[in-house]
């Protein structure tokens, strides 16, 4: 029997710890930049800030779904450490230039460069980790830690921004962010990163095809696709509409913007912290569907609020709506890693996490431009109604695709001759065509399709 499972924490590895800290610092830098960018857009565009933000964030998502896979496919050809360091330094430089912007198109150019560097960083970082952490369990934990860090960033950076904005102007946020990227670069310089020696298993492009195939064939993951859309629909209100809603409708200031974002972050944190125990008891599906219903309720309340006339109570209501959206988001994002782990063999996990990365960004790529442009031409009410319809569609997909009864272990059939007999030692021969096999079921080369009860019943009847 093997002992000491506690040593599977990846944080005992100093190189990993440095890289992880650099990754988190970079994430927070990007998050703070997003808050500051919203305020900058308002300074330049006023009432049209939503369109500017919608365009800037759409550029970001376009870059993410195009650049990240391409760089990922070639990530093992660059000397990795200099590459990662220079990506941090590029981001620091771009962020330092942002306060000097006085034209809207300059925002778009700098965002494109900033996000290209970010999009190139993620797959390279992901490719480095298995070389630093050859142990399978440590690596799986590292994947989860990265996902959790991304979640924590979305909720904590608005709060940091809110705190910072009470003592300084938003231009200083950009300076703080640049310092963060410089620290990240220094951490990467001091970490030992092996260059690729052996051939890695498949390019990022191949790995992403594997991930997409698993997504398409696994019912609970098809459900997750719908949930990605719900998160993006409600999240777009927070990301794009907060500035205009606070400044134009509520008549608030910079710190008012940060306060609503902080309420959103607080809701996220509240649920993320209390969720693990509930998850153990209920499982992922009811928790995530409740989260989706919460987001739809949040959008509904936002629509109701958009009809309200002036009144001090609108602040309290807006804070409640933004916090509700944060809570619903956390209820969907927190269990996502667990759902992905459950749906893949260890070897396919990087591919599946990469596929989720791309597919969730596709959802944002749909909702950001809709939110940005529709708000400017048609106002909050129409935009939020459209987003609520999208969210309702996402919920319908999730409920339909992800069956309520979703057991880990499933009985299924293997046709004689389609699978290595050595894999079927524990299988039962039912007739001259089929073996019946029972084990924890995930999509892989030997199990390309989800088992249906119908096929099983036919074989038993035959």
**Using CB under 5 A as the criterion, which residues of the chain lie in contact with Zn ion when the complex forms?**
437
> Least CB distance from residue 447 to Zn ion, whole Å?
6
Q: What are the counts of helices (DSSP H) followed by strands (DSSP E) for the chain?
A: 14, 3
Smaller CB distance to Zn ion: residue 215 or 435? 435
Q: Are strands 409-415 and 428-429 parallel, antiparallel or unpaired?
A: unpaired
Write the burial class of residue 373 (CB in 10 Å: 0-12 exposed, 13-18 middle, 19+ buried).
Answer: middle
φ, ψ dihedrals at 427, nearest 5°: -95, 160
Smaller CB distance to Zn ion: residue 368 or 441? 441
> Least CB distance from residue 139 to Zn ion, whole Å?
25
Q: Give dist(CA 360, CA 362) in Å, integer.
A: 5
> Least CB distance from residue 96 to Zn ion, whole Å?
56
Smaller CB distance to Zn ion: residue 277 or 449? 449
> Least CB distance from residue 19 to Zn ion, whole Å?
37
Q: Give dist(CA 267, CA 340) in Å, integer.
A: 24
Residue number with the smallest Cβ distance to Zn ion: 437
> Least CB distance from residue 352 to Zn ion, whole Å?
19
φ, ψ dihedrals at 169, nearest 5°: -85, 160
End-to-end CA distance of the chain: 44
Q: Token pair of 339, please?
A: 């759902």
Smaller CB distance to Zn ion: residue 179 or 456? 456
Smaller CB distance to Zn ion: residue 361 or 437? 437
Smaller CB distance to Zn ion: residue 222 or 436? 436
Q: Give dist(CA 114, CA 56) in Å, integer.
A: 11
> Least CB distance from residue 424 to Zn ion, whole Å?
8
| 445-460 residues labelled b (16+ CB within 10 A) or e (exposed) | eebeeeeeeeebeeee
């Amino acid at each position: 029997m093997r002992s000491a499972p506690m040593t599977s924490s990846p944080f005992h590895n100093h190189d990993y710890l440095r890289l992880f800290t650099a990754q988190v610092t970079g994430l927070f830098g990007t998050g703070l930049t997003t808050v500051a960018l919203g305020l900058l857009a308002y300074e330049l565009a006023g009432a049209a800030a939503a369109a500017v933000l919608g365009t800037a964030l759409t550029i970001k998502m376009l870059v993410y779904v195009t650049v990240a896979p391409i760089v990922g496919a070639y990530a093992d050809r660059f000397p990795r450490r200099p590459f990662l360091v220079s990506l941090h330094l590029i981001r620091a430089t771009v962020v330092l230039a942002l306060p000097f912007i006085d034209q809207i198109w300059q925002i778009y150019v700098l965002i494109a460069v900033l996000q290209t560097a970010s999009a190139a960083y993620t797959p390279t970082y992901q490719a480095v980790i298995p070389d630093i952490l050859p142990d399978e369990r440590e690596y799986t934990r590292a994947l989860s830690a990265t996902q959790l860090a991304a979640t924590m960033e979305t909720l904590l950076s608005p709060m940091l921004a809110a705190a910072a904005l009470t003592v300084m102007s938003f231009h200083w946020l950009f300076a703080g962010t640049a310092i963060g990227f410089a620290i990240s670069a220094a951490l990467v310089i001091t970490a030992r990163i092996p260059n690729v020696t052996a051939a890695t298993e498949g390019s990022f492009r191949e790995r992403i095809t594997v991930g997409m195939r698993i997504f398409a064939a696994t019912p609970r993951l098809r459900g997750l696709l719908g949930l990605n859309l719900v998160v993006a629909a409600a999240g777009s209100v927070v990301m794009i509409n907060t500035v205009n809603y606070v400044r134009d409708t509520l008549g608030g200031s910079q710190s008012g913007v940060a306060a609503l974002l902080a309420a959103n972050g607080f809701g996220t944190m509240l649920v993320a912290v209390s969720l693990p125990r509930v998850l153990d008891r209920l499982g992922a599906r009811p928790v995530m569907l409740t989260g989706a219903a919460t987001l739809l309720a949040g959008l509904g309340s936002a629509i109701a609020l958009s009809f309200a006339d002036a009144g001090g109570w609108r602040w309290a209501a807006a804070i409640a709506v933004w916090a509700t959206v944060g809570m619903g988001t956390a209820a969907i994002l927190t269990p996502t890693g667990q759902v992905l782990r459950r749906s893949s063999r260890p070897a396919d996990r990087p591919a599946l996490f990469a596929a989720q990365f791309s597919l969730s960004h596709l959802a944002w790529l749909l909702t950001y431009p809709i939110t940005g442009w529709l708000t400017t031409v048609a106002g909050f009410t129409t935009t939020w109604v459209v987003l609520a319809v999208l969210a309702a569609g996402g919920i319908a997909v999730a409920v339909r695709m992800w069956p309520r009864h979703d057991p880990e272990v499933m009985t299924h059939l293997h046709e004689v001759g389609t699978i290595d007999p050595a894999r079927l030692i524990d299988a039962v021969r039912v007739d001259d065509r089929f073996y019946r096999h029972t084990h924890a079921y995930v999509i892989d080369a030997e199990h390309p399709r989800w088992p249906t009860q119908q096929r099983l019943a036919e074989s038993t009847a035959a």
